[in-house]
Amino acid sequence: MRDAITVGTINHRVVDAEYAVRGPIVARAQQLERALRDGEKLPFDKVVYCNIGNPHSLGQRPISFFRQVLAAIDCEAVAGAFAADVLERAEECKRKIKGGTGAYSESKGVESLRERVVRGITKRDGIPANIDDVYLIDGASAGCHYLMNVLIRGEQDAIMCPIPQYPLYSAALTLYGGTLTPYYLDEETGWSMDVEHVKSQLNAARAQGKNVRALVVINPGNPTGNVLSDDNLLDIAKFCADEGLLIISDEVYQENIYADGKKFKSMRKVVLEAGLDKRVALASFQSISKGYYGECGRRGGFMELIGAWEQGVLDAILKLASIALCPNLAGQIVTSMVMDPPVEGDPSYKQFAQERDDILASLKRRSITLSNALNSLEGVTCQPADGAMYCFPNLVFPQKFLDECAAANKVADAEYCTRLLLATGIVTVPGSGFGQKPGTWHFRTTFLPSEEDIAGVAVKLTNFHGEFMSQYK
């Protein structure tokens, strides 16, 4: 007897995995966008995708130096139009990438490009990095999948993740058959981590027979926009060393910090300065999809593995990279430029620095515009977006609305986000897609639309929310 291939007979883990950032609300938004193109009259004239950190899709301009180097590598006919440092970088790539950008590279990435990443890590942290520790990858997501594939043997294996969390981690754990052990960030103190609470959650999981293998830190935070303090990071590192947990440090928003007096500090630097690298293993991720560069479609980034790794485990991770053959070449090249960009004195530096600074300054203004608008709404509080690309407001819904949702078997924040979309064309993600403390409600929105558009988003949100609250009085 043969089983037909149906949703009931395929891998149930794939069916069970959820990724709210591109969930049913986004699917509905795409239907509405098609309806607008077909001439249908709706309460809005365009759909604004505030659901995902996809900067270029919302009008952010690419960094000229990065695009010029890529163009000069792949099309010699246009190379004469570019500055000398663009041509030098392109020639180095052509000389050192065997077979060019159309050929496979080494599985860990092109050595010369990894050398530039090492240079950038060393400059950032003030502590020398080692090329053997660096893997170029197709975005941080690829690194996450490598680690989950190695760590998870079955549902008894668990990974501690912050709640709220980026749903890549929960989805990957479902796919690989593991368990997510949550620890809750403290919203009232700016989404900080309380290590005593984390320890309590760890002990509870172990009491249930779970083998907790690693702890995920997202800094700056997604979806929360928080920036963890140096003391918080050190407490986490010591805790993981004491408890025998691998640290998975998601640092893809390290360039996106807007709060005065706050600065990114890598977990790598924390671990090495504290002399913990003999006691704890660390995996760190950086991506070219965020920052001021926003090159999501290039699919690039790196994973760095330092500290107390057993060689056999590193060999297993390299095996997975080898099975994948290699990360894409354009992503590798952009990753090398993100970590080792033009410096003062280079012909392209002035334009590069202007573009970078303009983008980051604009993002800061937009974060303030949106968080101020959210905090002005009845029943809404929003922690400052100190970093990343998102606001994650807390909503206190009228009891009448909550009762209505319960009777209809609807999740309250998802229903709110759906109504917001249908009334305004603004696409957001319900907080339930990221996890949240029971009894609380949130949604995540980017502040990536242009400054003109973000002002419009703020007005539409304000008007919608006012009408929504009036409806339940």
Among 396, 397, 390, 395, smallest CA distance to 371 is for 390
Categorize the per-residue pLDDT at 443 as very low, low, confident or very high, splitting at 50, 70 and 90.
Answer: very high
Percent of the chain clearing pLDDT 70 (strictly above): 99
pLDDT of residue 418: 95
Please give the pLDDT value at position 316: 96
What is the mean predicted confidence (pLDDT) over 349-372?
95
Rounded to an integer, what is the distance from CA 425 to the centroid of its chain?
A: 24
Tens of pLDDT along 232-262? 999 999 999 999 999 999 999 999 999 988 9
**Amino acid in the structure at residue 378:** E
- Which has the higher per-residue pLDDT, 17 or 358? 358
Question: What is the distance, to the nearest Å, from the Cα of residue 174 to the centroid of all Cα atoms in its chain?
Answer: 19
Which of 48-52, 306-310, 332-336, 338-342 bottoms out in mean pLDDT, i.e. has the lowest? 48-52
* Arithmetic mean of pLDDT over the chain: 93
Local confidence band at 31 (pLDDT 50, 70, 90 cut-offs): very high
Residue 1 CB partners (closer than 8 Å, separation 6+)? none
pLDDT tens-digit map of 125-148: 999 999 999 999 999 999 999 999
- Domains contained in the chain, CATH given: 12-59+359-471 (3.90.1150.10), 91-339 (3.40.640.10)
| Number of other residues whose CB lies within 10 A of the CB of residue 114 | 25
The pLDDT of 10-20, averaged and rounded, is: 75
**Confidence (pTM):** 0.93
249: enclosing H helix or E strand: strand 246-250
pLDDT, tens digit, for every residue of 163-209? 998 888 998 999 999 999 999 999 999 899 999 999 999 999 999 99
pLDDT value at residue 160: 97
Strongest mean pLDDT among 37-41, 266-270, 407-411? 266-270
The confidence score (pLDDT) of residue 464 equals: 96
Of the candidates 49, 60, 56, 55, the one whose C-alpha atom is nearest the C-alpha of residue 21 is: 49
Residue 289: name the closest of 442, 407, 142, 147 by CA: 142
pLDDT reading at 20 higher than 80: no
